[in-house]
Structure 1
Amino acid sequence: MTAPEPPLAPRHPWHPRHTAILVAILLLGLGHLTPFLGYLTDDTFIHLQFAKNLIGGRGFAFNAGEPTYGSTSPLWVLLLAGVGRFVPGAGATPADVARMPEIAWVAKACGAVFLALSLLLLARLGRTLGWRPASALALPALLAAHAWSARWAISGMETPLAVFLVVLALGAVARAAIEGRGGFLAGLFLGLATLARPECWILAALGVGAVALAAEEGRGKRTLAALAGVAAGAGPWLVDAWLLFHRLLPNTSAAKAGAPFVPGLMISALRASLRILISTDAIPIALAVVAMALAGPGLLRSLPRGRRAFWLMAGAWPLLLVAGLAAGGVQVISRYLLPAVPSLLLLGVASLQWASGRLGARRQVLAVVLLVALYAAPNAYLTLRYSAPHARRHTAGLRSSLATFGLWARGHTPPKTVIATPDIGAFGYYSDRPVLDLFGLVTPAMAPIAVREGYDAIVDRLLFERVGRPSYLIDRAREANRLARTDDPANPYVFTVAREISDLGITRPAPYVYSLYSIRWDVYDRMHPRLAFQNR
C-alpha cells in the first residue's frame, strides 16, 4: 500500500507558534504515559534479568554464567546495563516485590526519552517531506495519542527504542532518497533497528532498496554505502552473537511463535494483527486505502524517483511486517506491530494532504485538526477503558504470583536449584535461581519440544526431563493444583502453593493460576526404569 503524495508545495515557514504546539504535543504525549507508570510485564523482567547479570559481570545471560541469545532486543539490554551501571542498586535483586526495581526505573526513563525523541523526529520528517507545519505536526500528535504506544513506552520493554530507531531510519532514508544525501546514515540506523526488534530486518532490506532505487547516478556506490551502514550498525553484535551463541538471530520462543506456514496459525496471526491495527489506526489506514483506490498507481509513478522510492518503502513495511508475522504463526501482540505505526501515520497524513489539496490553506489545517481529533478520541477511550485498567491488574497479579514465588525460592532453596516454568521473567529476576524455560527462549532445547508437543503435554508427561531435571515446576493453568493426582502412584508432582493472576494478557483477560510443585524424581525413576537407566 502506497499513499499518493501531492505535488510539493513551496516550503512554508516554521513559526514560534509551531514550536509551542510541538512542545504541547510532547507534554501531552508524556502525560499519556502516566496511567502506565507502575506497569510491568513478565517479558520486562527478562530484559531486566539480562541487564542485571551484565551489570554484575555474569555475562549476557538469563541464568547467571550461562550465555544465551534469549533476548529479542540485545541493544535494549546493553543500553539498560550501560545506564544501570551508574544507578545505585540497579544490579541488585530487590527484597520486596512491591517496590519498583531501580533497573526498571532506568528502563522506564529510557522509554519516555525515546518516545519524546520520536515525537520530535516525526515533526522533522514531515518537514523533510516538504509538508506544511500543520501536517508535519500531525505526525507527532497522532503518535502521542496512540494507545498502544502509550501502553508500551514505559513498560520497560524495547518498543520505544525500536520506534525511535525506525523513525530515525525513515528520516535518513528520506534525506538520502529525496535530497540525494549519502546512504550510510540510513543504513546505520536501519542496522541498529534490527538489534531493537529482529523484524526490522525487513525494514532494513526495504530501506537499502529505497536508497538504491532512488539513485539515478552512482547507484552501486550509494547502495554499498547503505549496506556499509547496516553492517556498522548490526555487524559488531552479529559477530559477538555468533562467537557467543553460534547463532545470528534470537532463540525461537514457542511462547510467541508457532510453526511457520501452518494455515491455521497464519490465519490466527493475521486476524490478530488486523484487530490490533484497526483498534488504533483504522483512520490512517482507511485514508491510505481510499486514496490509492481513487488515485491509482498513476500518481505514484508521476512522483520524482526519490519520492517514489521512499513511499514504496513506507507502504511496503507495514504490509510485509504483518505478512511476516502471519507466515511465522506468531502469537501477535500490539508491541510487535508498533515499529510499523510511523509508516501508517505517514501514509494517512499524506493521503489527507492529497485529498485536501484543492482546499484553501485554512481548510487544510482544519482537516488536519479533525484527523487528529477523530484519531485521538478512540485511542484515549482504549487507554482509559481497557488498556490502563488491565495494566494495573496484570502488574498486581504478576507481583503476587511469579514475583512472590521468586522471593520464596531465593529464601528457601539452595543457590543452584533449578526451577521449570513457562513464564521466566519475574520469577527468574526475583529468585536468582536458574530456570528451565519450558518454551525455549533461554533453554533452546525446549523450543522444538514445545512446538511439537504443546505445553500441556510437556508438564503432564514431564517431557522437559529430556533437557533437565528441575527440583520444582511452576505450572500455568486455569485451575490450581491440576497436576498433583494423589491417586496416581506414578505421579511425581507434590503440590506446594498456588497464586492467581487475574489478567494474563489484554487479549486473554480470564484469570489464570500459577501452581508450584516439587518434583520427586525418585518416583519418576521407579515408574520409568528405562528412562532412569538412560539418564544415569
Structure 2
Amino acid sequence: MLSSGNLKRFVPDIILVAAALAMTALYALSVGSGFPLDDAWIHQTYGRNLAETGLWSFVPGVVSAASTSPMYTVMLSIGYKLAVPFALWTHGLGALALAVTALVARRMALQVAPKLRGIGLAAGLAMIFSWHLLWAAASGMETALFSMMTMVCIAWCWRELSAARSSKTAHVMARGTTFGVLAAITTLTRPEGILLIAIIGVFLLIARPNMRWRDVILWGVASLVSFTVLMIPYLLFNLDVTGGLLPTTAAAKQIYAAPIRALGYFWGLRLMTIPLLAGGQLLLIPGMLVYVIMVAKRIRNDRHGLLFLLPPIWGAALVMLYAGWLPLNFQHGRYVIPALPALIFAGVVGTGWLLKAAQRSIVARVLTRTLALGAAMLIIVFAFGPGLSSYQLDVRVINEEMVAPAHWIAENLSPEAMLAIHDIGAVGYFAPRPLLDIAGLVSPEFAAVIADPEGQWALMQQGNARYLMAFPDQLPAEDTETRVFARSINRLAKPQSSLAEAK
C-alpha cells in the first residue's frame, strides 16, 4: 500500500495525465467530429483495411505504400480489430502521446536541473498547453506519436548518464537493444526519426557516459542489430512496391516543394520557422539560449554533459532538414511541430535558470519574471484561444470540403465508376472504390506528371476515369470546360469543391 509520502510523489504525474486528457478532449469535442486534415482519413483508411483484410492498402485489395507512418497505421488497426469507435481510439492515442511527452519532459527537467523548484511540472505543463502539440494530439495524425518518441529516445539516452548503470555485458547489450527498438519505432513513425537516431549515436560516441570503449561497442552493436531487424521488413516492402526505401508520398511531395526550394535555403528556413513562433514559445527563446550556454559550461568540465544538448540540437536540426528537403509550412508547420517538445523543454529549463540567476538584482528579477509570466500567459491564451479556434476551423473545412463530398459520392455514384481525385483521404474512407490519385500519393505514376497537365489528362484517360474531384486550383488545366472530364460541374458542400463528370 502506498504511503502518503509516496502518493505525493505521483501528484505531478496525475496532474499532467489529467490535463493532457482534458485538453485533448476539449479540442476533439469542441467541433463535434472529424479531423483537421484530409491526410488523417488516409491513415484511417490504411488502418481499417489492414485490420479487415490484412493488406497494406488504401484501395481495398490493392497493395500500396502511401502511408508515411507504418507504426501509426498498425496502432490504428488495433483499434479497428478491437471494435473501438475510431474517433475515440484515435483521439485517445493522441491524448496518451501528449501525456507521455509531458511525463518524459518532467523527468528530463528534474534530471538536468534538479535544484530548480517546480521545474519538472512546469516543463510538463508547457508541453500540454502548447497549442501546436494540442492540435497535433487531436489531429488524427502521427505527429503526436512521433513527438513523444523523440522525447523518449532522448530521455533513454540520458539514462546512460547514471553512475549506477551496470557494466555487465548482458546489461549493456540489453540497454543497447532497447534503444535500438525505440529507434526503430521512432523511424517507423516518421522516416526523419533516423536523423535524431544518428545525432544521438554521434553524441554517445563522443560523450561515452560511464562507458568503456568495450561497452560503447557492445551497446552500439546491440542497438544496430535490433534496429535493423525491425526496419528490414518495412524497407523490403517499400522496395518491392515502390522500388525505393521511402513511401510513395516522398517523391510526390518533393515535386510539390520544388518551386519553393528553388527560392533558396534561407527562404525555406524562414518558411519553416515562422509557424512555430505563434504562441508562448516565442518568449521562451531567451530561455533556449540560456539553456545552451549553461550546458556548454558543463561540457567544459564534463564531456558527459554533451548529451544535455540533444534537445535544442534535435529541434534545430529538424527545422533545418525540412528547410532544405521539404519546405512546406502548411497546416501550422505540421512537419516541424515535432521539434517543439525539445525546444520548449530547453526554453522552460533555461528560463528557470534565468530566474534563479536574476535573484541578486531587483531589475533582473522584474525582467525575468515578466518574461516567464508572459510566456506562461501566452501559452495558456493560445491554448484556449487562437489554437482552439484554428483547430475548429480546420476540422470544419475538412468536413465541408472533403467529408461531405465523400458521402455524396458514396450515395450517388456507382462503386465501379473510376474516380480521379486530388485529396483522397475522406473519399477512400467513406466511399471506398477504385480511384486514381492525381496528387501521386497512392498512384505514384501521377507524381512524374504533376507539372504536366497534358500528362495528367492522358493518365486519367488511360485509367478510364469517369469523374474528377478537385479544387479549381488543383485541376490540371484552366480550360477544363473543353476537356472530356469537364462537361458539367456539380457543387458539393461548398462552391470550392467540384466534381467533373465525363461525357
Question: Per the shorter chain, which TM-score range?
Answer: 0.7 to 0.9
The answer on whether the counterparts of 2:143 and 2:337 sit within 8 Å (CA) in structure 1 is yes
Letter in 1 for 2:17: L
Letter in 1 for 2:27: P
The answer on whether the counterparts of 2:408 and 2:492 sit within 8 Å (CA) in structure 1 is no
Q: Stretches of 4+ moved more than 6 A in 1?
A: 363-372
Letter in 1 for 2:21: L
The answer on whether the counterparts of 1:410 and 1:433 sit within 8 Å (CA) in structure 2 is no
The separation in 2 between residues aligned to 1:430 and 1:365, in whole angstroms, is 57
Superposition map of 1:120-519 within 5 A:
120-129=103-112, 131-132=114-115, 134-177=118-161, 179=163, 182-215=175-208, 217-218=212-213, 219-251=216-248, 252=250, 254-255=252-253, 257-259=256-258, 262-264=261-263, 266-280=265-279, 281-289=281-289, 292=292, 295=293, 299-308=297-306, 310-333=307-330, 334-358=333-357, 373-450=373-450, 452-453=451-452, 457=453, 462-465=457-460, 468-477=463-472, 488=482, 491-499=484-492, 513-519=496-502
The separation in 1 between residues aligned to 2:199 and 2:259, in whole angstroms, is 22
Shift of 1:427: 1.5
Letter in 2 for 1:394: D
Moved more, 132-141 or 408-417: 408-417
Matched, 1:19 2:10: yes
- 1:327-382 deviations in whole A, cap 9, x for unaligned? 12431243222222222123223423443455679x99999987764333223333
The answer on whether the counterparts of 2:311 and 2:342 sit within 8 Å (CA) in structure 1 is yes
The answer on whether the counterparts of 1:58 and 1:64 sit within 8 Å (CA) in structure 2 is no
The separation in 1 between residues aligned to 2:383 and 2:371, in whole angstroms, is 19
Normalization by structure 2: what TM-score?
0.83
The separation in 1 between residues aligned to 2:18 and 2:295, in whole angstroms, is 39
The separation in 2 between residues aligned to 1:479 and 1:288, in whole angstroms, is 41
The answer on whether the counterparts of 1:177 and 1:210 sit within 8 Å (CA) in structure 2 is no
- Paired position in structure 2 for 1:529: none
Shift of 1:85: 0.4
- 1:175-198 deviations in whole A, cap 9, x for unaligned? 125555633322321221111112
- Paired position in structure 2 for 1:69: 65
- 1:202-247 deviations in whole A, cap 9, x for unaligned? 1011122222222252232232233234324434433443345443
The answer on whether the counterparts of 1:260 and 1:327 sit within 8 Å (CA) in structure 2 is no
The answer on whether the counterparts of 1:159 and 1:335 sit within 8 Å (CA) in structure 2 is yes
The separation in 2 between residues aligned to 1:171 and 1:297, in whole angstroms, is 16
SS of the residue aligned with 1:448? helix
Moved more, 264-273 or 190-199: 264-273
- Paired position in structure 1 for 2:47: 51
State the superposition RMSD in angstroms: 3.4
The separation in 1 between residues aligned to 2:366 and 2:93, in whole angstroms, is 35
The answer on whether the counterparts of 1:315 and 1:347 sit within 8 Å (CA) in structure 2 is yes
The answer on whether the counterparts of 1:211 and 1:226 sit within 8 Å (CA) in structure 2 is no
The answer on whether the counterparts of 2:484 and 2:502 sit within 8 Å (CA) in structure 1 is no
- 1:12-49 deviations in whole A, cap 9, x for unaligned? xx975563244223323333220333341211100001
The separation in 2 between residues aligned to 1:338 and 1:387, in whole angstroms, is 14
Question: How many aligned residue pairs are there?
Answer: 473
The separation in 1 between residues aligned to 2:81 and 2:291, in whole angstroms, is 50
The separation in 2 between residues aligned to 1:346 and 1:393, in whole angstroms, is 28
- Paired position in structure 2 for 1:36: 28
Name the structure with the higher helix share: 2
Q: 1:315 to 1:118 in 2, by over 3 A?
A: closer
Shift of 1:59: 1.1
Shift of 1:478: 6.4
SS of the residue aligned with 1:473? strand
- Paired position in structure 1 for 2:76: 80
Matched, 1:104 2:87: yes
SS of the residue aligned with 1:62? coil
Percent identity over the alignment is 21
Normalization by structure 1: what TM-score?
0.78
Letter in 1 for 2:269: L
Q: 1:415 to 1:303 in 2, by over 3 A?
A: farther
The answer on whether the counterparts of 2:291 and 2:349 sit within 8 Å (CA) in structure 1 is no
The separation in 2 between residues aligned to 1:272 and 1:227, in whole angstroms, is 35
The answer on whether the counterparts of 2:468 and 2:485 sit within 8 Å (CA) in structure 1 is no
Letter in 1 for 2:89: V
Moved more, 108-117 or 66-75: 108-117
The separation in 1 between residues aligned to 2:34 and 2:235, in whole angstroms, is 32
Q: 1:117 to 1:299 in 2, by over 3 A?
A: same
Letter in 1 for 2:74: L
